Amino acid sequence: MIEKNVDIQTVRRTLAGKGGKEYWRSLNELAETEEFKEYLRQEFPREAGTWGEEFSRRDFLKVMGASLSLAGLTACVKQPDEKIVPYVKAPEYMVPGKPLQYATAFVMGGYAHGVLVTSHLGRPTHIQGNADHPASLGATDVFATASLLHLYDPDRSQAVVHNGVMSSWEKFVQSAKPLIEAQRALKGAGLRILTQNITSPTLHWQLQSLLAAFPDARWHQYEPFNADNVRDGMRMLFGEDVMPRYRFDRADVVLSLDADVFGLGPGNVRYARDFATKRRVSGKDASMNRLYAAESTPTITGGMADHRFRMKASDVEVFARALAARLGVPGVAAEHLPVDETVIVALAKDLQSHRGAGVLVVGAHQPPVVHALAHAMNVLLGNAGTTVEYTDPVEQQPVHHLRSLQALADDMARGAVDVLLILGGNPVYDAPADLRFGELLAKVRFSVHLSLYDDETSERCTWHIPESHYLETWSDARAFDGTATIMQPLILPLYATKSAHELLDELFGEARSSEVIVKSFWKTRSAASDFESWWRRSLHDGVVPATHLSPKSVAMKNVSWTFTPVVSGGMEILFRPDPSIFDGRFANNGWLQELPKHVTRITWDNVALLSPATMENLNVRNGDMVTVTYNGATVKLPAWALPGQPDNVVTLHVGYGRTRAGRVGTGIGANAYTLRTSATLWRGEGATIEKTGEWYRVASTQEHWSMEGRPIVREATLDEYRVNPDFAKHMAHRPTEKESFYPPFVYDGYAWGMTIDLNACTGCNACMIACQSENNIPVVGKKQVERGREMHWIRVDRYYVGNDLDNPEMAVMPVACHHCENAPCEPVCPVAATTHDHEGLNVMTYNRCVGTRYCSNNCPYKVRRYNYLQYSDTETKSLQLMHNPDVTVRNRGVMEKCTYCVQRISAARIEAKKEDRLIRDGEIVTACEAACPVQAITFGDINDKNSRVAKLKAEPRSYDLLAEVNTKPRTSYLAKLRNPNPELAAVQPLSRSEHHG
């Protein structure tokens, strides 16, 4: 770099303006000349390689090297003083090697999900559900568990950025304060605050006091996937701002109107749990609930359905109308029917015969009128108050998100916004395309973006402030049922980051820390006489007592129904959040990118989902690149056939095509937000799809979807089960003990085993991510997944059942190491690296493994995973902190697989030995078992006849996968049952005969 045109005066000024200790590398840098900025840009481009490339570790290290040199630049902020003296009096609970758990909450879309975070000597290493929290009951979804990776993500924003140049918090405050003061004089007329959906009582309190001081300022909220339609529907029907909350544990008949209640959205984990309690079948005269799904794009909820009706998203309204007319909702008449009339008749009959024990749920993307219709039916059927409860909104200040953002955009376009604080979110990327939010930001004189990543919005704002991860700071949030959680940090901020509370308090208050702010708010709210013990209790439990929202009694208005006109505008287009990376906020999370998406089992990409028939019409194959043009914009992405997808409907998952997500998420997939406008936020008509002639390799983890007539997922109808409860055992020949020359090995201590209830499993992937986090499983990148080298120890297989390619039934099956008693992997290992222990575990000795892969070849379940290359990143400092110290980090050339979380078995064994007792049933909970929202996975000692696992193995539905190979697996399955309505047998014949071959 040539030192030229350096104005010494500028340098002096700049240096004087900086606070704290300064490190600089050249005078150009201090002068912040254009040359230096250009040099910086060239030297450290944002998009320098991604993890998706082959041998990316090398690229990765290069970038890490660059980051290290940049560390000198970022040291503009004086880090807080650190004490490095050892404990004089060690806290009694701090024992090296013994992890601690703390309760806090993961927040997505504003809704809290209570979690317990495992901390090893101050490092959070694993996130699992908080059993005391109503949204969790001990389980998690993929996002909550995977949020751990964001904490340690080396791409997380680490410095304040001013117009693309590193700056400091002090400089930001210096430049912001005068502008805020100027606004104070104007009553805040030019001040706007944009947040995501806010349920945090403390943040709301802060914002309220702010708005009191600046009465003309405005607070806007926007989530790209919001509950606007639900709220509008409720207003339409009840005339007041209430929100529905479902009680699936009380419902015997469930109708889902395009709702993915178990997959995504507030309360999904709890809803799945409640639903599953009605699906636990035991004994001869067992009963179970029945799920109907009227669905457009297949979801895991539709996959669970006993009857799934495939229809366009726009036809769901017509379907709901027909049903409402049949059920006698006043003022509703049926028009044409998207399904056979017998369906409506049978459905109405089933719902009517389960008054107060049926429920209709609607997807948030369906228009308000469908919500109103469904809840009118719920009220008429007596479900209101039993299976569905109406409560005040959880949000402190519920708004119509789209209108809120539009109002802000209008103000910005008028030039009325002088100061804009964007607290979280990424509106430049995810706001409706027609608002042109990114361009409008240029009209704002002073825009601030507080976020975890230096993303698309940060780039367009004058200031970017790095946000503290939720595990680094204090906050609070409310769950889907209103229960509040005070979120406590597990670790000091890794970088000089700020929380939204701190940012607001710095600019408008007293510059207090998050802890002080949150605590002082709750001091005003807590009615307890002894606040300190109340506070500690709330923190410990992870829930604040008495914050649950009680059901309200509501009255139906006399609705004059106006329905969406039915137009046949050609190809319907649907915008849906991605099942793995949601709205794009998880784009830089390698765990989630590599997680096979619900139903499609695709990783690392978004695709244009089309029905097989539509694919034929368009003459495209899987992976053919197509352009989807809509609203004047075009995206190019691969076409993908999805059985169950309605014809002439293209579904695009958003969240891809990020330009500034980080090394993992930038530049992969196509940005479907560019097609999404305010008018067509959820769906639209008249999209055009054209074949480009290119072909693209999509990394799918499952290429074959048929069971080939093999008895893999064994299922029967409830009626068949009642007649023949052990049907699953007769679907394959099972060798008897007598067929061996040798007596069986006697396990006289513990004998570990597992059962997986296929009747409960929804295929939500929670087990996969929990396992990845617990067992230090590396991310391999798209190229390696394409090659079939993903490393997940537990996978969720998805099969289609039936002869109807267009609308097959779906069956999911989690598969991990079966810990066979006759393990085929063991005799073939030349170096005895995989052996059997006396408790029946098939154990891997990583140190001994030379990597011949023979064991994997000989495994009939193909659950062994091989480190074909050096997949584990052992060199990135921040990722080192994340590793579970109880599990070996595997290197290249080593075979690995599910261990039944042997580290947890050991921990329980140590505890039991200390107390001189046996390990209790339920004391060992494997990571997958803990995460499972529906409690499909049970682990325990099968020698203990009273253990849960032994009892489940004694169930007639229990069967061993591939028992005919005589592996004697320790993991067994409980066969799947479906509960079809006999009256619909003519419309949807059940094709299960395939399994009885």
Partner 1 sequence: MAEHKHTTLVEQPEPLVSPKETYGSITDKIAGDVLSTKTPKAMMITLAITSALLLVFVLAVGAVLLFGPGVWGNNNPVGWAFEITNFVWWVGIGHAGTLISAILLLLHQHWRNAINRFAEAMTLFAVMCAGLFPALHTGRQWLDYWLLPYPNTMGMWVNFRSPLIWDVFAVTTYLTVSFMFWFVGLIPDLAAMRDRAKKHWQKVIYGILAMGWRGSAHHWHRYEMSYLLLAGLATPLVVSVHSVVSFDFAVSLIPGWHATIFPPYFVAGAIYSGFAMVITLMIPARRWYKLESFITDRHLDYMAKVMLATGLIVFYGYLTELFFAYYSGSMYERFMMYNRIFGPYWWSYWLLIFCNGVTPQVLWFKKVRTNVALLFVISLIVNVGMWLERFVIVVTSLHRDFLPSSWDMFRPTIWDWSLYLGTIGFFVWLIYVFVRVMPMISIFEIKHLLPWRGRKIDTSADAA
Q: Which is nearer to partner 1, 526 or 870 (CB)?
A: 870
Rounded CA separation 299/295 (Å) = 8
Q: Cα dist. 966→368, 739, 815, 834 in Å?
A: 56, 10, 18, 19
C-alpha 166: how far from chain center: 32
Q: Which is nearer to partner 1, 178 or 788 (CB)?
A: 788
Q: Which residues bind partner 1 (CB under 8 A)?
A: 55, 702-710, 712, 784, 787-790, 795, 797-799, 813, 815, 824, 827-832, 848-854, 856-858, 860-862, 864-870, 892-895, 961-962, 965, 997
Nearest in space to 465 (alpha carbons), one of 153, 192, 162, 14: 162
Geometric angle at alpha carbon 208, from 207 and 211, rounded to 5° = 85
Containing 466, the helix (H) or strand (E) segment is strand 463-466
Task: Please report how the helices 500-508 and 169-185 are oriented relative to each other, as an axis angle in degrees rounded to 10.
Answer: 60
Smallest gap from residue 991 Cβ to partner 1 (A): 17
Rounded CA separation 683/324 (Å) = 23
Burial 622-655 (b: 16+ CB within 10 A, else e): bbbbbebbbbebebbbbbbbbbbbbbbbbbbbbb
**268, amino acid identity:** N
Q: Which is nearer to partner 1, 445 or 853 (CB)?
A: 853
Smallest gap from residue 966 Cβ to partner 1 (A): 9
Smallest gap from residue 856 Cβ to partner 1 (A): 4
Smallest gap from residue 870 Cβ to partner 1 (A): 7
Tokens matching residue 4:
């030229």
Smallest gap from residue 133 Cβ to partner 1 (A): 34
Q: Which is nearer to partner 1, 91 or 997 (CB)?
A: 997
Q: Which is nearer to partner 1, 12 or 697 (CB)?
A: 697
Q: Cα dist. 867→39, 851, 892, 893, 930 in Å?
A: 39, 9, 5, 5, 26
Tokens matching residue 384:
């209101």
Q: Which is nearer to partner 1, 556 or 962 (CB)?
A: 962
DSSP line for 595-653: SPPTTT-EES---EEE-HHHHHHHT--TTEEEEEEETTEEEEEEEEE-TTPPTTEEEEE
Q: Which is nearer to partner 1, 54 or 232 (CB)?
A: 54
Rounded CA separation 552/568 (Å) = 40
Q: Which is nearer to partner 1, 322 or 785 (CB)?
A: 785
Nearest in space to 44 (alpha carbons), one of 23, 25, 70: 70
Q: Which is nearer to partner 1, 407 or 962 (CB)?
A: 962
Smallest gap from residue 866 Cβ to partner 1 (A): 7
Rounded CA separation 132/145 (Å) = 17
Altogether, the residues listed in the chain come to a count of 997
Q: Which is nearer to partner 1, 58 or 355 (CB)?
A: 58
Smallest gap from residue 735 Cβ to partner 1 (A): 12
CB–CB of 705/642 below 8 Å? no
Nearest in space to 215 (alpha carbons), one of 223, 207, 227, 203: 207
Smallest gap from residue 303 Cβ to partner 1 (A): 15
Residues in contact with 767: Cβ distance below 8 Å, sequence separation at least 6, in sequence order: 794, 796, 814, 927, 928, 929, 931, 932, 937
Q: Which is nearer to partner 1, 487 or 961 (CB)?
A: 961
Rounded CA separation 585/593 (Å) = 11
Side-chain half-sphere exposure of 870, counting CA atoms within 13 A? 9
Smallest gap from residue 858 Cβ to partner 1 (A): 5
Smallest gap from residue 973 Cβ to partner 1 (A): 13
Q: Which is nearer to partner 1, 532 or 708 (CB)?
A: 708
Smallest gap from residue 783 Cβ to partner 1 (A): 10
Smallest gap from residue 90 Cβ to partner 1 (A): 37
Burial 499-510 (b: 16+ CB within 10 A, else e): bbbbbbbbbbee
DSSP state at residue 498: B
Q: Which is nearer to partner 1, 856 or 947 (CB)?
A: 856
Smallest gap from residue 600 Cβ to partner 1 (A): 14
- Listed in order, strand segments (DSSP E) in 783-845 are 795-801, 809-815, 834-836, 842-844
Q: Which is nearer to partner 1, 601 or 663 (CB)?
A: 601
Q: Which is nearer to partner 1, 55 or 745 (CB)?
A: 55
Smallest gap from residue 553 Cβ to partner 1 (A): 49
Three-state SS at 585: coil
Rounded CA separation 535/526 (Å) = 9
Smallest gap from residue 530 Cβ to partner 1 (A): 56
